[in-house]
Structure 1
Amino acid sequence: MTLQADLDTLYGVVPEEFTALRTQLVTAAKKRGDSDAAKEIAHARRPTAAAWVVNNLVRTDSTARTRLTEMTSELRAAHSAMDGARIRELTTLQRRLVTDLVRAAFAAAALADPSAALRGDVTETLQAAIADPEVAARLGRLVKAEQWSGFGDFGASLADASTDTARPDLVAEPKPPRVSKAELRSAEKRHANAEAAVADGTSVLATARRRYERLLETLAVAEQAVHDAEQQLQDANNELAEADSAWAELRGESRT
């Protein structure tokens, strides 16, 4: 076997099997008299979990490397042409691509519920592979998660691009426009007027609430007065009925 074939084999196994296989490959290289290969294999570093997930993706999905490379080429062309509309379009497509590849990577690795940290490392590594050709060249033999520094092949126009793992952008945020002193004073005045309007509205609301509470109190008093009047009327009706009964009895007695 050649050195490159040995390294491909070595980085094709799960991290748990890496060390044992490395020892075997070093021994085999020495037996065939290839001391240089034995030394290089011996110095090969075991990949982290995130690196292995990405390595495994490009080995199991023959389209992954091509899709990443094509996105790199299209972004480079758009930035060279300073085509803002195309850059924005590609930014959306790039996010979808990275999202799709992250999902495919964990499916290929049989990891149904990866941690947020692992998912973030895989996302950043794929983003770095799009932005940095050196990272892309190491795909399949990565030893650690990669992060794009912001100074890759696309030049200064990408230097301020976001590396948020939740939004893997490669397009720099536009610089905020300059604001004149007059515009600043006008904005401050509008802000002060808005604050005054809020204060006035708060005062009006408080007054309305107090009036509402007083009306509720008045209504409660009125309801109690109605209740008392109804009770008095009932009592009066009872007294009238008793008086009518007594009067009828007196009239009956007077006749006898």
Structure 2
Amino acid sequence: MADDELDSLYGAEPAAFTALRTELVAEAKERGDAAAAKRIAAARKPTTAAWIVNRLALRRKDTKKRLSDLGDRLRAAHAEMDGERIRDLSAEQHKLIDELTRAALQAADVQRPSASVREDVTGTLQAAVADPDVTRRLGRLTKPERWSGFGVGEAAPASAPVKRSGTAAQRRLDKLKAAVADAEREKAEADDALSLRKAERDDARAALREAQRRLERSEAAYDKAEGANRAAAESLKEAKAQLKRA
């Protein structure tokens, strides 16, 4: 049951993530499924790019298989050092990544993505080709992924010189992008925590206001009962006095 709920959670728009997570946790607790409640509560809000890729994987069930199959064929071609096959598969990879990037943005109804969001979506799909672990986690990603290795899916032309400065620059760029992604994830988690604390504070304030209203009603009822008690005592006293005079 928790898997279906997590699918709905990670498929929802980021703005609705925190409220939906709270609702799903409450539902799991209500039906007595503590394990599901714990898994759902531990879910972290994804960045925009991660959410876009998650929605694609959740809506198009063949996404994982297509990326995984291509990755398997690329690894086999590299293991056999089949240059021609590697070039053919690299071309196939670029075509597939372009197709899935467009499909992901369309599924998320993102008409004009920023350059960084588009790049993060593309980089995550490329990482899924290269890394089976990334492929497995599609649909549950919290931040963009990027493949920093060499070989799979990025075959260099034969006899191409190695550009060491370019490689170093790319590594620095990858590290900076990873740092930005980590910062985005931490900001999203901080936003989640702030929203949760705000909801708890608002609930506590509402409970306090209701308690104050109940106290005021109780005090008013007590004052009324006390007045009635005094009146009854006076009536009793007067009745006894009349009886004595009689």
What is the TM-score with the length of structure 2 in the denominator?
0.61
Matching residue's letter, 1:170: E
CA distance in 2, matches of 1:176, 1:105: 35
Map Cα deviations across residues 187-207 of structure 1 (whole Å, 9 max, x no partner): xxxxxxxxxxxxxxxxxxxxx
- Residue 154 of structure 2 corresponds to 170
Is the contact made by 1:132 and 1:148 (CA closer than 8 Å) also made in structure 2? yes
- Residue 49 of structure 2 corresponds to 50
- Residue 113 of structure 2 corresponds to 114
How far is 1:175 from its partner?
Answer: 6.7
Matching residue's letter, 1:57: L
Give the count of matched residue pairs.
161
Corresponding position: 1:15 with 2:14: yes
Corresponding position: 1:36 with 2:20: no
- Residue 149 of structure 1 corresponds to 148
Q: Which has the higher relative contact order, 1 or 2, with Cα contacts under 8 A spaced 6 or more apart?
A: 2
- Residue 62 of structure 1 corresponds to 61
- Residue 200 of structure 1 corresponds to none
Is the contact made by 1:48 and 1:145 (CA closer than 8 Å) also made in structure 2? yes
CA distance in 2, matches of 1:86, 1:117: 31
CA distance in 1, matches of 2:156, 2:38: 43
- Residue 98 of structure 2 corresponds to 99
Map Cα deviations across residues 227-250 of structure 1 (whole Å, 9 max, x no partner): xxxxxxxxxxxxxxxxxxxxxxxx
CA distance in 1, matches of 2:86, 2:108: 32
Is the contact made by 1:45 and 1:143 (CA closer than 8 Å) also made in structure 2? yes
Map Cα deviations across residues 10-65 of structure 1 (whole Å, 9 max, x no partner): 11211111100100111111122222221221110011110111111122223322
Is the contact made by 1:131 and 1:170 (CA closer than 8 Å) also made in structure 2? no
Identity of aligned residues (%): 52
CA distance in 2, matches of 1:112, 1:22: 26
Is the contact made by 2:131 and 2:147 (CA closer than 8 Å) also made in structure 1? yes
Is the contact made by 1:7 and 1:41 (CA closer than 8 Å) also made in structure 2? yes
Is the contact made by 1:12 and 1:56 (CA closer than 8 Å) also made in structure 2? yes
Map Cα deviations across residues 76-122 of structure 1 (whole Å, 9 max, x no partner): 11112111110011111111111111111111211121110000000
- Residue 5 of structure 1 corresponds to 4
CA distance in 2, matches of 1:8, 1:60: 10
The 5 Å alignment of 1:178-217 reads: none
Q: Post-superposition, which runs of at least 4 consecutive aligned residues in structure 1 deviate over 3 A?
A: 172-177
Q: Secondary structure at the match of 1:11?
A: helix
Matching residue's letter, 1:18: F
Map Cα deviations across residues 119-143 of structure 1 (whole Å, 9 max, x no partner): 0000000000000011000111111
Q: Secondary structure at the match of 2:85?
A: helix
The 5 Å alignment of 1:125-144 reads: 125-144=124-143
Matching residue's letter, 1:20: A
Cα pair distance change 1:62/1:122, threshold 3 Å: same
CA distance in 1, matches of 2:60, 2:39: 27
CA distance in 1, matches of 2:110, 2:27: 33
CA distance in 2, matches of 1:95, 1:5: 32
CA distance in 1, matches of 2:44, 2:132: 21
Q: Secondary structure at the match of 1:47?
A: coil
CA distance in 2, matches of 1:7, 1:133: 21
CA distance in 1, matches of 2:15, 2:111: 19
CA distance in 2, matches of 1:68, 1:12: 20
